[in-house]
Amino acid sequence: MRWSDLYVPTLRDDPADADAASHRLLVRGGFVRQLMAGHYSLLPLAVRVRAKVVGIVREEMDRIGAQEWLLPAMHPAEVWQKTGRWEAMGEEMFRLKDRKGADLALGMTHEEIVATAALELASYKQLPQTWYQFQTKFRDEPRPKSGLMRVREFTMKDAYSFDLDQAGLDRSFERNHGAYTRIFRRLGIPAIPVQASSGSMGGSTSIEFMSPTEAGEDLVAHCACGYAANIEKATSVVAAVEDAASSALPEPFDTPDAKTIDELAARHGVPADRQIKTLVYVLDGRLTLVLMRGDHGLVEQKLLDTMAARTLRPARPDEIRDALGASPGSLGAVGVAHLPVIADEALRGRRAMTTGANKDGVHLRGVDVGRDLAVGQWADLREVAVGEPCVVCGAALAVVRTVEVGHIFQLGTKYTEALGVTVLGPDGSRVTPVMGCYGIGVERAMAAVVEAHHDDAGIVWPVAVAPFEVAIVPIGGANEAVAAVVGSLYDGLRAQRVDVVLDDRDERPGVKFRDIELVGIPYRITVGPRGLAEGQVEVTVRETGGSTSVAVGEAVAYVR
């Protein structure tokens, strides 16, 4: 490829509206342009990176025996109604009607659709199956932000496994877990696997892969012993809502042998649609407990909408610790606090249970959120359990801000049951297969790579996903010897299947060097008359900034 044929509209200055490093650099580097909030055009350089990300994910999925499908992006309402998610997905789902008036959805995930496809499975002999696709997902996010990190239209690699029984699902889950570890390692994304709650997906075991970045919206607590958890889980927090009219406030009780919040919720028969989350926020400088259901972003947005002039942000662990008076360096205590509380309108007049964990086990406590509570109103929370102990070893946890780059779930039979998927079992009876699902956001992964690999001058792509691996820059004006060496290096690299771009633009070397650094090409080979007089070219490594003189004949091998 010749740079003069490429369309790479680099910008001299940072875009004014970009907070995250990846957003700033992908716009400046000429990779993306915004159409409207949450919708981006990918320019040629971004398409090259995206293809490499997709290639790595595809290789690793194929390696574990998964098969590629392509399911429709537009869905009939009926399949979503069968699982109850036509209602449950709420405002995050884009909906439309066709000319006949039929209700349709733009797919935000594909469990219902893949389970429909699985209706044709006939026998246990066909199991296990793992099916995956790269498909556009649509989500009406309350707050699209940070460039490609949170958008309303994105490519997801979503995979779905079907097994005969739980033991089979455990094996499929492990295989996918392994694939994810390899994928993130190859992409250069430092992903931490953390235990997570499974939200609207239902099901039990769930692991999120979280990549540290200041631009992320999730806090992860992790321990030297290997334990890691989403902070909402570590600090307390799946809660069950009981209707004030139908039940009395439960006595606090402990369930020391429950290892996870989900396990505990399941043991006490708390259905997923009755669960709320309690999160600690700082509202106008005061520590505040926010009770919410469903998507945090949505509730946050609602709060901000109703309290225009106020500021709201998640509380830091040290702020919570200070408020509860726990010992410094550890949040090992389950404290009692009288925090003001704000609840979602839907929780008005309800009573809740919150859960918390410390090294002695997982605790469930009844809390009274007060009556006649409306959005934006204040009330006293009688008791709140906040603990951030490592539940495995009891040591203090470190907390990092992260973005979710992948998520794997054990779904059980929720979808196969709702859609009526059965196969003939070994003993001739009908068996409902158990499902798992496994997602990675492709464009968010690109952004996460940039978050993890950049410096003041621009992006530093790992070779595996770089738009080009090598840029060749001729300097010193028209010169036959330079032109000949540039031509042979270019051909030599292409013959070795190295992705190379020849910067043949009529620009000063400084301009070319700056662009090559900004767009993040891992190697630059500079060819000039002075070096050639010694039989040498200069190889510059983007990551270190270091340059080395290399004999012309060794340059191809040097950058391969």
Cα gap 160→408, rounded to integer Å: 10
Stretch of 96-104, 251-259, 398-406, 469-477 lying at the interface with ligand ATP (CB under 6 A): 398-406
Q: Which stretch binds ligand ATP (CB under 6 A): 60-68, 331-339, 357-365, 433-441?
A: 433-441
Stated length of the chain:
560
Q: Which of 404, 451, 515, 517 binds ligand ATP (CB under 6 A)?
A: 404
Of 58, 43, 69, 68, nearest to 186 (Cα)? 58
Q: Which is nearer to ligand ATP, 406 or 458 (CB)?
A: 406
SS3 380: strand
Distance between CA atoms of residues 452 and 191, nearest Å: 10
Which 3-state string (H, E, C) describes 209-269? EEEECCCCCEEEEECCCCCEEEHHHHHCCEEEEECCCCCCCCCCEEECCCCCHHHHHHHCC
Q: With CB cut-offs between 5 and 8 Å by kind, which of Mg ion, ligand ATP, none does residue 294 bind?
A: none
Residue 407 interacts with ligand ATP (CB under 6 A)?
yes
For the segment 67-126, give every residue that binds ligand ATP (CB under 6 A).
109
Please measure the distance between the N-terminal and C-terminal CA atoms of the chain and give it in whole angstroms: 17
Query: Residue 321 Cβ, how far from ligand ATP at the closest point, in Å?
Result: 25
Which residue lies nearest Mg ion, judged by its C-beta? Answer: 407
Site for ligand ATP in 216-255 (CB under 6 A): none
Site for ligand ATP in 128-167 (CB under 6 A): 139, 141, 150-151, 154, 156
Backbone dihedral angles phi then psi of residue 401, each to the nearest 5 degrees: -85, 135
By beta-carbon proximity to Mg ion, the closer residue of 321 and 407 is 407
In the complex with Mg ion, which residue's Cβ is closer, 193 or 528?
Answer: 193
Nearer to Mg ion, 93 or 501 (CB): 93
List the Cα angle 16/22/25 in 5-degree steps: 60
Structure tokens at 26: 């992908």
CB of 442 to ligand ATP, least distance (A): 8
Sign for the pseudo-dihedral over CA of 280, 212, 176, 395: negative
Q: Which residues bind Mg ion (CB under 5 A)?
A: 404, 407
Q: Which does 515 bind (CB under 5 to 8 A by kind): Mg ion, ligand ATP, none?
A: none
155 or 260: whose CB is closer to ligand ATP? 155
The partner in contact with residue 323, picked from Mg ion, ligand ATP, none with C-beta cut-offs of 5 to 8 angstroms by kind, is none
- Name the residue among 114, 103, 130 with its Cα closest to residue 72: 114
Supply the minimum distance, in Å, between the C-beta of residue 187 and ligand ATP. Answer: 12
406 touches which of Mg ion, ligand ATP, none (CB within 5 to 8 A by kind)?
ligand ATP
Q: Distance between CA atoms of 50 and 461, rounded to whole angstroms? A: 12
Closer residue to ligand ATP (CB): 404 or 503: 404
Give the DSSP H or E segment for 448: helix 442-452
Cis ω on the peptide bond leading into residue 142 (within 30° of 0)?
Answer: no
The residue of the chain with the least Cβ separation from ligand ATP equals 441
Interaction site with ligand ATP (CB under 6 A): 109, 139, 141, 150-151, 154, 156, 404-407, 439-441, 444
